[in-house]
Chains A and B, each alone.
Chain A
């Protein structure tokens, strides 16, 4: 890359600005989570007095928010993983068909997927609330997984079909000529190349489910299915005169950790340009 020194410095400054802009709030919450009840109002960024009592409150046995937080964490992880898994598996087949086959209604699938994903969540949450209550899905895992799929499936279909389109069809045909059945060709020539795309859309789908608040608060009522973002709003202080800011900050940090871990694990797999070298270059 023939980039001048000035260009490099420019990019460096821009990158730093973006990093500070996006990471400062996280840092601020992290610091808040270490503050004592009194320290919350100190007005300083760093806690005047460091403490783990906020974490103890949400995680340790006997903590005031523990029975609210831990079931919510379990719900969030379970619901998000299941809806991610279903979305990615369905979207893989769907996107493969869209990328490879020529069939009627292909455009319709893509446009309706797009329409569903831009449809405002708040406008369907009330009808869903009534419907779920009458069919018995209210306050269950399935009751959240289904609406989450409506958010995660479209985006997965779109990212994956774009990804499959990049994989040269000749690879599968070459495999078939080399002696593979269509399914073996798919498994040996396409799946290894599609893996980064699958992981990318899995992560996006997971985040969508993980971050949802509107469905989480409206379609649950107990710890049976309530996810973390919703549970946070039920935090109370030790007394009604105490703000639960510290505990909420600690919980926010705890739910951020899995996201960071997931990204770090799959970072290596999301290497773009893996198809490079398949064809002419």
Chain B
């Protein structure tokens, strides 16, 4: 097990396309880091550079304290799970898992190999499938075999390249928790590439958001959600995504398409002397005043609801708005970057499932100005980001992580002593 350090890593393909533009990333020993971003952001390229399947054009990659830029994949002692699983179809499940061990001739005896394969298969509940060929397995089973092949040797780190994207939604959820459990138990440094932000948010200790080959922000899931550094991260993290509204400063208030916000100190500081801004607001920041338990301080305003979607635990209401403003170009570009194809500007509002608001209604909504984000329309920078709060969130995440690792270590030791006393 080891740390992985990327120091200004650049990837330029022979045709001149630069897929990764100077990424700095420190992955601590035992940490679970997610590389996430829309398609074409360079996340898979970055992973393949770490494992050695792509050359590093510039910069330095260190595993532990060792620079490994010029090392072949086999000398880096990393284990990788591929998107397509890449199982050897001519070998049984047993031999697939044993494959990495057999390659290192002489390092393991047959009994050692057998023991390790059986350990891995027990961990992944593959015992009854050991003699089958990959072709006869279900998608989830193949996925587990691929993971078995990764954990069977003591690799310095696990690398996952969108491992769940070929599974159906239900299985994906199950495997996601399986991977999380496995990583916690083994405590192995893990880098995980995905375009699915649910996977990113649920699995990672830290999440690195990439856009067009550039690192946007590296933070804990909560840090990304609550204190995004810019428009892109704010729009990428969260589902349904954050609403972005064009805003104009009018005296002491911000004029938005559907409502007006009187600026408090926080907003005034963020706005500065700009007069056009982009305001972001999470769908769940809104509440339906009809079913609010108590009156809270904040804004109330009426909107015309176009469509509603009732999902049992939440009600989504869609509120179209006119968007004739200077920031439209910015928002359209952002939409393209996020792989979006929004047809018309609309506000997505997540209300309590008991809300009676339905399509065509005029609803009165409540919103706290504290939940608004303000972005610079030119740079996309989050003007309301609070560094102190962000740092506190990271600290909390680090503490939680340390506690989880400590617990896993204790469990492992406990299991070992029990095994010892049983034998």
| A residues whose Cβ falls under 8 Å from a Cβ of B | 168, 170-171, 173-181, 184, 188-189, 192-193, 274-281
Contact = CB atoms under 8 A, between A and B. Distances in A.
Contacts of A279: 84-87
A178 B155 CA distance: 10
Given A178-B99, A276-B135, A173 B90 contact: no
A281 B90 CA distance: 16
B104 interface: yes
A277 B136 contact: yes
A193 B86 CA distance: 13
User: Which among A170, A171, A177 has the greatest number of chain B C-beta atoms within 10 A?
Assistant: A177
Given A178-B149, A192-B90, A274-B90, A280 B53 contact: no
B37 interface: no
Nearest to A171: B86
Nearest to B149: A178
Interface size band for B: 20 to 34
B86 A280 contact: no
Interface stretch (B55-63, B75-83, B266-274, B410-418): B75-83
B103 A173 contact: no
A280 B103 CA distance: 25
Given A189-B88, A277-B135, A281-B142, A176 B82 contact: no
B250 to A, nearest CB: 55
Nearest to B166: A280
A81 B149 CA distance: 41
Contacts of A175: 88, 99, 103
Contact of B137 (A173, A174, A184, A277): A277
B44 to A, nearest CB: 12
B40 interface: no
Interface of B: 51-53, 72-74, 78-80, 82-90, 99-100, 103-104, 133-137, 139, 142, 149, 153, 166
Nearest to A176: B73
Contacts of A173: 53, 73, 82, 86
B90 A193 contact: yes
11 contacts: A171-B88, A177-B53, A177-B80, A178-B74, A179-B103, A193-B90, A278-B84, A278-B86, A278-B134, A279-B85, A281-B142
Given A174-B82, A280-B84, A274 B139 contact: no
Contacts of B137: 277
A277 B99 contact: no
Contact of A277 (B52, B78, B79, B87): B87
Contact of A278 (B73, B80, B88, B100): B88
Given A176-B52, A179-B100, 6 more contacts: A168-B84, A175-B103, A188-B99, A274-B90, A277-B137, A278-B89
Contact of A180 (B74, B78, B135, B166): B74
A281 B139 contact: yes
A256 B82 CA distance: 48
Nearest to B161: A170
Given A277-B133, A280-B166, A281-B142, A176 B86 contact: no
A181 B103 CA distance: 9
Contacts of B153: 179
Nearest to A181: B74
Nearest to A170: B86
B154 to A, nearest CB: 12
Given A177-B80, A179-B103, A276 B89 contact: yes
Contacts of B139: 280-281
